Each structure stands twice: as C-alpha cells, then as structure tokens.
Structure 1
Amino acid sequence: MNHKLLIIMLTLISFITKGQTNGPEMADVMRSEGKIYVVIGVLSIIFVCIVLFLIYIERKLSKIEKEIRK
C-alpha cells in the first residue's frame, strides 16, 4: 500500500514540475510589444458601456415604478 501511494505521489509531483515554464508570461510579452494597452483600452470601453447601460435601465425602471405607484 505504501509503495503504491509513493509511486502515485511521485508521478503527481513530476506532472506538476513539467507544467512550470521558465518563459515569459503572456502579460510580459504583451507589455513589451505594446499590446497590453490595447487590451486595457478595450476592457475599459466594455466596462464603461455596461455601466452606462445599467444606469439607463435603472432610470427606466424608476420611471415605471413611479407610474405604477400613481
């Protein structure tokens, strides 16, 4: 039983160590090429649009709620 457990643990450790890379991360590569600013810009635009849409919906709902109360 102990030998099987030891073999399984060593196999798992070898899989974990093979998964680690020494190369640069994606953010570092994108930052060095200047593409990270494009990603940040697109995400910012999407976030602002979602916030504006939620504000618009909230105003419409508040008008409908006022009409229902009258």
Structure 2
Amino acid sequence: MKQLIVTMIVLFVQLLANAQDTVHNVERTPTGLYTGNKIYVVMVVAVTILVGLFLYVIRLDRKISKLEKS
C-alpha cells in the first residue's frame, strides 16, 4: 500500500512538471551571447584555453618524469 501511494505521488508530480512545459514550438528571439553567434566565439576561446592548459600540464609532467629518472 505504501509503494502504491509513493508511486501515485511520483506520477502526479511528473504530470504536473510536464503540464507546465507547454511552450514547445514557440520560436524564441536570441538574447545575450546568442545574438550574432557570439556564444560560439566564447566556446572557441574557452576550449582553446583548456586545450592549452592540458598540453602545458602534459609537457610539464613529461619534464618532471624525465628529471626524476636522472
């Protein structure tokens, strides 16, 4: 009986959450970084910085390993 009540509550909450999402096919106007595709520039800069940091750490690790061996 307890499981049935919990299941009904979960299903009811899920139904309410889906009922509030009624704006599926409405086209939104881009705001903020989405205007002019600036978000892609931000992503490219962030990925470039992260790749640079990873390459630096890998290079530093190899140098330290080389120093530890000698």
Q: TM-score range by the shorter chain?
A: 0.5 to 0.7
Partner of 1:21: 22
C-alpha distance in structure 1 between counterparts of 2:65 and 2:11, whole Å: 64
- CA positional deviation for 1:59: 0.8
Would the alpha carbon gap of residues 19 and 63 (structure 1) be closer, same or farther in structure 2, given more than 3 Å must change? same
Please report the RMSD computed on the Cα atoms of aligned residues, expressed in angstroms: 3.2
- Deviation string for 1:4-29 (max 9, x for gaps)? 96x7578442x13432132636xx53
Alignment identity in percent? 19
Q: Distance in 2 between matches of 1:49 and 1:59?
A: 15
Structure 2 counterpart of 1:43, one-letter code: M
Partner residue of 1:59? 59
CA–CA separation in structure 2 for the residues paired with 1:61 and 1:10? 52
Cα offset, 1:35, TM superposition:
1.6
> Which residue identity does 2:17 align to in structure 1?
I
- Number of residue pairs the alignment of both structures matches: 62
TM-score, length of structure 1 as denominator length:
0.60
1: CA distance between counterparts of 2:38 and 2:52? Answer: 21
Provide runs of 4+ in structure 1 moved above 6 Å.
Answer: none
TM-score by length of 2: 0.60
Unaligned runs of 5+ residues in structure 2 are: none
